[in-house]
């Protein structure tokens, strides 16, 4: 009986011992796994820290490079702004100079124009008195001088003439008309027939001392003009000019 108890007790002690050994092995495995996990975790942290540090270094280098480029560009911008300011000042001065010169030129031009107008006016007055001096008709109030014409085509005839007043500083008004002797389109003889103006020009006259008149006459449906008449009507009187055409 006693031997059996001792045997059972030995088995119990052996079983308990095996349990403790199993627990120790499990504990050691857990510790080893934890250690390895912690080592792996720390290695990853260190590796990531190195990567982050390297990335930070690269970023800082890029930031410094960008700052350097920005500083260079700011320097260029500042220099361009100074140049632009200087150019603006120069351009402003140049523009003011040009404006002054233009204004001066315009003033000179205006004065020259006024002088030219005065010279032309004086020349007109001189020519008027020359024409008046050599006028063929000094008894009538109005003289018809320097009459010219030009047949442009079968439908138009140009005319140009000068009216002179034989009394200085007298205001004259009236109308002028053209007539002709010749043949119409059917070769029928025509006498003293009125002609129409082709440019719809008014035939009114109003002048003092002299007046130059020109324009076009419509010669449609006219085969030939033998004689061209110009009549001036003013204050109930008629002043005539006759031009034969070969």
| Weakest-pLDDT range from 24-38, 108-122, 180-194, 218-232 | 108-122
| pLDDT tens-digit readout, 6-44 | 555 555 555 676 777 777 888 778 777 777 777 777 677
Q: Between the CA of residue 7 and those of 11, 12, 20, 135, what are the distances in Å?
A: 6, 9, 20, 178
147 in the same domain as 66: no
236 in the same domain as 152: yes
CATH number of the domain enclosing 212: 2.60.40.10
Q: Domain tally for the chain?
A: 2
- Asked whether the whole model's pTM tops 0.75, one would answer no
209 in the same domain as 157: yes
Q: Please identify, among 96, 118, 134, the residue that sits at the C-terminal boundary of a domain.
A: 134
Q: What is the chain's Cα-based Rg?
A: 60
170 in the same domain as 220: yes
150 in the same domain as 96: no
pLDDT above 70 (res 216): yes
* Cβ(205)–Cβ(213) below 8 Å: yes
* Cβ(163)–Cβ(232) below 8 Å: yes
pLDDT above 50 (res 5): no
127 in the same domain as 102: yes
The token duo for 112 is 């020259």
* Residue 114 domain boundaries: 51-134
């Amino acid at each position: 009986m006693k031997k059996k108890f001792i045997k059972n007790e030995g088995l119990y002690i052996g079983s308990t011992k095996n349990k403790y050994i199993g627990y120790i092995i499990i504990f050691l495995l857990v510790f080893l796994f934890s250690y390895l996990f912690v080592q792996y975790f720390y290695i990853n942290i260190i590796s990531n820290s190195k990567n982050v540090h390297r990335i930070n270094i690269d970023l800082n280098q890029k930031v410094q490079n960008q700052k350097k480029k920005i500083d260079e560009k700011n320097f260029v911008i500042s220099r361009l702004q100074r140049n632009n300011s200087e150019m603006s000042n120069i351009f402003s001065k140049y523009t003011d100079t040009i404006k002054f010169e233009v204004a001066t030129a315009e003033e000179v031009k205006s004065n020259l124009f006024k002088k030219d107008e005065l010279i032309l006016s004086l020349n007109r007055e001189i020519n008027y008195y020359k024409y008046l001096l050599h006028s063929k008709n000094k008894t009538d109030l109005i003289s018809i001088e320097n009459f010219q014409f030009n047949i442009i085509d079968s439908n138009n005839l140009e005319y140009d003439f000068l009216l002179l007043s034989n009394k200085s500083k007298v205001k004259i008004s009236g109308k002028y008309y053209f007539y002709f002797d010749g043949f119409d389109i059917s070769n029928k003889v025509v006498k003293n027939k009125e002609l129409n103006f082709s440019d719809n020009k008014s035939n009114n006259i109003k002048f003092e001392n002299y007046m130059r008149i020109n324009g076009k006459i419509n010669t449609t449906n006219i085969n030939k003009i033998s004689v061209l008449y110009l009549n001036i009507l003013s204050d109930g009187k008629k002043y005539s000019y006759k031009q034969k055409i070969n």
